[in-house]
Amino acid sequence: MTTRMLGAPITRREDPRLLAGQGRYVDDIGAGALEVAFVRSPHAHARIVDIDVTDALDVQGLVAIYTHEDLPGRVGEPLPLLIPHPALTHGRTPCALAKDEVNHVGEPIVMVVATSRYLAEDACDRIRVSFDFDPPVVGIENARDGAQLVHDDVPGNVAAHLVQEVGDAAAAIDAAPNVVELDLDIERSASMPMEGKGVWARWDSDDRSLRVYTSTQASTSVRAAVAAKLGLEADRVEVVAPDVGGGFGVKIVHPWPEEILIPWAALTLGQPVKWTEDRREHFVSSAHERGQLHKVRAGFDDDGRLLGLDVTFWHDNGAYTPYGIIVPIITSTQLLGPYKPGAYRVEFFSLYTNTVPVTPYRGAGRPQGCFTMERTMDAIAQHLGLDRTVVRERNFIQPAEMPFDHGLTFQDGRPLIYDSGDYPASLEKLKKLVGWDEFEQYRTAARAEGRRVGIGLACYVEGTGVGPYEGGFVKVETDGGVVVATGLTTQGQGHQTAFAQVVADELGVPIDKVTVTTGDTRRFKYAVGTFASRAAVMSGNAIAVAARQVREKALRVAGEALEADPRDLEIVDGVVQVKGAPGSSVPLATVAVLSNPLRYAFDEETQRATQFASPADPDRPPVAEGDSPGLEGTGYYSPPRSTFANGMHAVIVETDPDTAEITVLRYCVVHDCGTLINPRIVEGQIHGGVAQGVGGALYERMVYDDAGQLLNASFMDFLMPYSTEVPAVETDHLETPSPLNPLGIKGAGEAGVIPGSAALASAIEDAEGFRITRMPISPSELHHLRVQHELASSAEKGLEA
């Protein structure tokens, strides 16, 4: 019997290549291409008066300079708004090169093409752009105030306004015996993959085709966008996501201006052209996320059960809305987590500011939602003097209540219905893992040593595997190798391993026979992309469907060759054999030959196959109606709706009584993402997510000044955690299979990051004894809060006296 691959923590098949320095990332490709640099806006809000390129013209190696005026037809029109929504009444997108005005520092104004990047930057240095300044709108308060406008025709800076309500939340809260109110604030961060964006393009004038390599999370959609913008038939455009050095959301946006401009320049100049984003460009021109202000009112009974929840929040969408309002929609629905909120009303405003546009970053609105709900849970516990885990337990949706319909509309436009999950069991595991019930002893002992410690927790539910679909292609070659392709892309999730595991099991072949290609439109044309923790769910299942078709055909063809009923056959280690009589068998390689009536004897396998070939029936066509040559299958998976994973994190922190330094002593994770394809890969995803969660809670923020300058646009000043800042993660897991898909998988990619700020705020609050409402929090901010708190409590004491 072949060892089962699904669920096996095997090492990754892509690693030897990547470890040997043989990866192929965009900037590794296409030596000798012309190179692009951009003149980007140094101002947050201004009108372009003049662009003077005279001084740049004598730069050695200069090939071309383009401004918006030079862009023909659709190339110069505003970029598409990807996900329109009726509530997004004032969506705005930029042009690929700024037309007349700029709305954030970093917006591209001039594209320079030269024989090297060094020379292109020389030319950029010599281009003079003059501006008339408009007052910049920076920060949610200023945007909300509406005194200054980002876009003249968008009143109040409101891009979108949406209300969803189930029951009468205001009435429920007013009637409740207890009410808490909270103002909660999360700051901006960003995906910040180690590889920035990059595009290479070549027009083949003989073949009349365009090849584009781009560091994207959605190559098929880039292809459609490029074809439409450049007026080419999609069939003449090939887009490949080669090895991609991390994405975390920012590379799902498409087309980025450069994804249109570089192919257009290659087409126009008739030469290969490339652009590699540098780190500063990435900071000021790729997307950010997270910045939101929230106002919460919660009404609850004396046991801590929610009766009504009313949340209003303001979302900073930056200068444009290329990705619609997905992020605030997710916050508004996913903040409910594993709880029954009673009556629920949520309202949000998505606001323009003169800053980098906001699009999903791993977690996509969920960290803010989780922070909002979990801070509320802690506030309820504090109000009633109850243990924080008890309040959560009392509000959990119970396993017997699954599937649970919240009566709301989720990000995919489908009803928000949780498919499965066992939250009480998860919490039980977490309490055990972290030692929740023993913590008070630990605190007492620590206190005796003059140390200040605290424990916190946070729970989340994550809708994963959003539709509409993904596809998979599986083919057995005549040498017995199995090639697999799916259209979605890979940025480090180990798809070449995980999808091979699926195929190895479904087809009964050794895994080293299987080769997987992702994100290459030459190999698979239809796909949605890698985001929303959907790749394993969507492509995993689609590939399983395709593999099952191949298996069925293999058994049919082998059955004819072996004169056996296909139902009596099995495939073991790449050989089709009669169950219980392994002597009667035919290798899959041979079956692949037999399934194609055209059999030139190119290889030994084809020669060998002739012994199995039955004489053709002269009265029937060689390929029967409805059949096709070859041993291959294409399958799609399209779910009715998302599947909901969940998890809970607990964290123990120590805060220094003098310096207010915050140290994470322990970080515990319990997660449930259904059936695991490869536990090692899932664990790695959790580790990486936690690191980003800790970064977002303690270190990372985008610091804009009032003029809209991003003050920390480098790795020197934007503090991403190093190994010394990330705690060791202790994990435990449940596997509650999803009933929605054949493999029972739920997504895992984003999970680790979601509860980071919520759990750390909970622990810091527990250590300090006063409420934490803003994240991230630095030692100096914590120190400041201590001072404020002491002042307030001594004033209170003074009053009492």
Query: Which residues are near other proteins by CB under 8 A?
Result: 11-12, 14-16, 18-25, 27-28, 31, 55, 58-60, 118, 122, 125-126, 192-195, 243-246, 248, 278-279, 491-494, 680-681, 683-685, 687-692, 714-716, 720, 722-724, 726, 728-729, 752
Q: How far is the CB of 517 from other proteins (least distance, A)?
A: 17
Binds 133, which of other proteins, ligand FES, none (CB < 5 to 8 A, cut-off by type)? none
Dihedral of CA atoms 623, 628, 632, 637 in degrees, nearest 10, equals -150
Write phi, then psi, for 615 (nearest 5 degrees): -60, 140
- Amino acid at site 799: L
CB 128 to other proteins: min, Å: 10
Q: What is the amino acid identity at position 575?
A: V
Report the distance separating Cα 498 and Cα 5, nearest Å: 9
Longest dimension (CA), the chain: 109
Residue 255 interacting partner from other proteins, ligand FES, none (CB closer than 5 to 8 Å by kind): none
CB-wise, 32 or 798, nearer to other proteins?
32
Q: How far is the CB of 614 from ligand FES (least distance, A)?
A: 52
Q: Give the Cα separation of 792 and 771 in Å (integer).
A: 13
Identify which of residues 643 and 692 has a Cβ nearer to other proteins in the complex: 692
What's the min distance (Å) between Cβ of 469 and ligand FES? 28
Least Å distance, CB 178 to other proteins, is 39
Which residue lies nearer to ligand FES by CB, 161 or 687? Answer: 687
Q: How far, in Å, CA of 88 to CA of 327, rounded?
A: 12
- Rounded CA separation 683/674 (Å): 13
In single-letter form, the type of residue at position 391 comes to V
Looking at beta carbons only, is 34 or 325 nearer to other proteins? 34
681 binds, among other proteins, ligand FES, none (CB under 5 to 8 A by kind): other proteins
Asked if 208 contacts 230 with a C-beta cutoff of 8 angstroms, the reply is: no
What is the per-residue burial (b if ≥16 Cβ within 10 Å, else e) of 651-684? bbbbbeeeebebebbbbbbbbbbbbbbbeebbbb
Least distance from C-beta 307 to other proteins, angstroms?
39
Q: Which amino acid is at 284?
A: V
Q: Three-class SS string for 97-129?
A: CCCCEECCCCCEEEEEEECCHHHHHHHHHCCEE
Distance CA 617, CA 624 (A): 11
Specify the residue for token string 């329109």: 84
248 versus 473: smaller Cβ distance to other proteins: 248
First vs last Cα of the chain: how many Å apart?
A: 81
Q: Which residues in this chain contact ligand FES in the complex, by CB under 6 A?
A: 194, 246, 492
- 16 makes contact, choosing from other proteins, ligand FES, none, with CB < 5 to 8 Å by partner type, with other proteins
Q: Judged by CB, which is closer to ligand FES: 421, or 749?
A: 749
The entry of other proteins, ligand FES, none near residue 729 (CB within 5 to 8 angstroms by kind) is other proteins
CB of 217 to other proteins, least distance (A): 12
Nearer of residues 12 and 68 to ligand FES, judged by Cβ:
12
Cβ-proximal residue to ligand FES, closest one? 194
Tokens of 387: 């243990």
**574/747 with CB nearer other proteins:** 747
In the bound state with ligand FES, the residue whose beta carbon lies nearer, of 19 and 163, is 19
The 3-state DSSP composition of the chain as helix, strand, coil percent (nearest 5) reads: 35, 25, 40
What are the distances in angstroms from CA 717 to CA 280, 494, 700, 777? 11, 31, 9, 16
Least separation in angstroms between CB 732 and other proteins = 15
Report in angstroms how near the CB of residue 523 gets to ligand FES at its nearest: 24
Q: Which does 716 bind (CB under 5 to 8 A by kind): other proteins, ligand FES, none?
A: other proteins
Distance in Å, CB of 170 to other proteins, minimum: 42
- 786 touches which of other proteins, ligand FES, none (CB within 5 to 8 A by kind)? none
C-beta closer to ligand FES: residue 333 or 530: 530
